[in-house]
Amino acid sequence: MRLLVVEDDPDLNRQLTTALTDAGYVVDRAYDGEEGHHLGDTEPYDAVILDIGLPKMDGISVLESWRRNGRIMPVLMLTARDRWSDKVQGFDAGADDYVAKPFHLEEVLARLRALLRRSVGHANSEFICGPVRLDSRTNRVSVDGNPVKLTSHEYRLLEYLMHHNGRVVSRTELVEHLYDQDFDRDSNTIEVFVGRIRRKLGVDIIQTVRGLGYMLAPPGG
């Protein structure tokens, strides 16, 4: 999953980025509203963490512009303000959830996982396809109850397919949502990782849809 953090405090931006990266996400970051607005308007993020009090362009204006432009990614707003009117303003602008500073990073991670699940209509942290189970809370994968060890890149790819179970996902979409802007988009990395995941799982749940991409489906489905 590819995320955007828009926070002008360098230390907090770094702490959020580190925690999210350690949790297995790919993270782009911005330090002011104008940069954050541009990235959110031009890159395909799965979710955004957006501070309200930003220089150059405040978070409410950024979010309102995104929503006017049809950007529908989940947005978790951060603010040092605790007035109820600020929360109302954020939700009215199109925010999906809200965290007031100071906060625990674990709470931000939990709220973010919930937003990502809800964005694909999923209620809990466990995703299932045939004998394969993936727990987005613990980052664990198992087949018939037996744990499977995946690298971080392999896990992110399988997790994205699990979030979009039953839908054909193009190679381009996978690259855009799993890697940062510097990734070589002409490489065959996706194909290599798909092959490795198939071997490690030992069950055929990743189907290649020729000319279109990949789709997750139960064996024999």
Provide the 10 A C-beta neighbour count for residue 188. Answer: 10
pTM of this structure: 0.77
* Residue-level pLDDT, tens digit, the chain, 221 residues: 899 999 999 999 999 999 999 988 999 999 999 999 999 999 999 999 999 989 999 999 999 999 999 998 999 999 876 677 778 888 899 999 999 888 999 999 999 999 998 887 776 788 999 999 999 888 899 999 999 999 988 998 999 999 888 899 998 888 888 876 666 666 678 888 999 999 999 998 999 998 899 999 887 65
34 φ, ψ to 5°? -65, -45
Domain-wise residue ranges, the chain? 2-119, 126-216
CATH topology assigned to domain 126-216: Arc Repressor Mutant, subunit A (1.10.10)
Provide the 10 A C-beta neighbour count for residue 128. Answer: 12
Question: What does the alpha-carbon distance between residue 146 and residue 10 come to, in Å, rounded to a whole number?
Answer: 42
Cα–Cα separations (whole angstroms), residue 98 to 36, 40, 74, 89: 18, 18, 11, 11
Which two structure tokens, joined as six digits, stand for 76? 């978790």
* CATH 3.40.50.9100, applies to 2-119: no
CB 194 within 8 Å of CB 202: no
**Amino acid at position 121, single letter:** G
